Amino acid sequence: MRIDLHAHSAISDGTDQPAELIRAAVRAGLDVVALTDHDTTAGWAEAAVEAGEHEITLIPGAEISTRIGTSSVHLLAYLFDPDEPALAAELERIRTDRVPRLQRMVDGMRALGSRVTWDDVLAAAPAAASLGRPHLADALVAVGEAQSREDAFSRLIGAGSPAYVPKYAPGTVDAIGMVQAAGGAAVIAHPWAHGRRGPLLDQDTLARLVAAGLVGLEVDHLDHDEATRAELRAVVRALGIVGTGSSDYHGLGKQGYDLGVCTTSPQSYEAILAASRHGTDPVT
C-alpha cells in the first residue's frame, strides 16, 4: 500500500486542478491520497468524481492554518464533515482574512519599490478558493522580480521580510477540538521543519495537543532531515500517537515534493481512519 496524506491542488496553492491531482496520484502508483488544500474543502467534489474513476482511495482533508502564540502551526484534518457549522465558519474566517492580508502585502511590496499589483496576484490564482503568499510569489515571478516561489520566499515575502503580514489563525487546541467535533482526525503537519517554520513545538506543547485529541504527527516530510525524523519517531512513541509520511505535493509550485516521495504506513493510516468518526467517508 502506498499512502500519501498531504497534497495541494490549485484550489489553494498547488498547480494541478483536483482531478489532475488524482490522475497524477494514480500515475505515481498511490493507493491512497489525501487532498489537503489550505483552509478549504472546495476541491473535494471534483477530486471525488475523478477518484471514483480510478483504483485509488481519496481521503478528503484540509491543512488548517492555526497558531500557538505567534508560531504558525499547520494542522492536517481528515474525514471531517465540511458542513459542520463551527468548523466551516472557522475555515471561512481564515480564508476571508487571507484576502486583505495579501492585499496589505502587495501594498508593502509596492512601498518597497515593487511593480506587482493585486491584479497580478489574482491572475496567478485563477482557481484558488484560498489565496496565499505562493500566489504573490507567482505574481512576482510573472513581473520579473523573482526567479521562483522559493526565491520570492527567501528574499521578499518570508516571515522575516519587511513586506510580511501575518494572517488570522485560530489556536491549535481550539482547531483540534473543532475537527474532532466535525468527526475528523487531526495530525500536525511538518512539526519540526528546522529553520523554515520558526520556533519548534516542544514536547510539553505536543502533550497538550494530544490531550486535546491530536492523533498524529507528520514525521517523514522533505523538510525534516534524518535526525529530525528519528527524534520525531521517538516523540510519537512517547506520546502514544501515530507518525505519518507525506509529500506535501504542490504540483509545479514546490520542486521535488513529488507525490509518494514520503509515505504513511498502513498501520498509521488505519489508526487515522479509526480515530475519525467519518464526518465524511473515504472515496473509494
Which chain residues interact with Zn ion by CB under 5 A?
Answer: 8, 13
- SS3 helix, strand, coil % of the chain, rounded to 5? 40, 15, 45
Is there binding between residue 18 and ligand AMP (CB under 6 A)? no
> CA neighbours within 13 Å on the CB side: how many for 119?
1
**Given the complex with Fe ion, which of 17 and 247 has the nearer CB atom?**
247
Burial call 245-265: b when 16+ CB within 10 Å, e when fewer:
bbbbbbbebbeebebbbbbbe
Among 4, 13, 84, 90, binds ligand AMP (CB under 6 A): 13
Give the residue carrying C-alpha cell 493507493: 31
Is there binding between residue 156 and Fe ion (CB under 5 A)? no
Q: How far is the CB of 189 from Fe ion (least distance, A)?
A: 5
Q: How far is the CB of 48 from ligand AMP (least distance, A)?
A: 23
**Given the complex with Fe ion, which of 7 and 116 has the nearer CB atom?**
7
Among 95, 133, 221, 224, binds ligand AMP (CB under 6 A): 133
Backbone angles phi, psi at 28, to 5 degrees: -75, 0
C-alpha triplet 86, 91, 92: angle, nearest 5°: 95
189 binds, among ligand AMP, Fe ion, Zn ion, none (CB under 5 to 8 A by kind): Fe ion
Give the residue carrying C-alpha cell 515593487: 114
Is there binding between residue 218 and Fe ion (CB under 5 A)? no
Is there binding between residue 218 and ligand AMP (CB under 6 A)? no
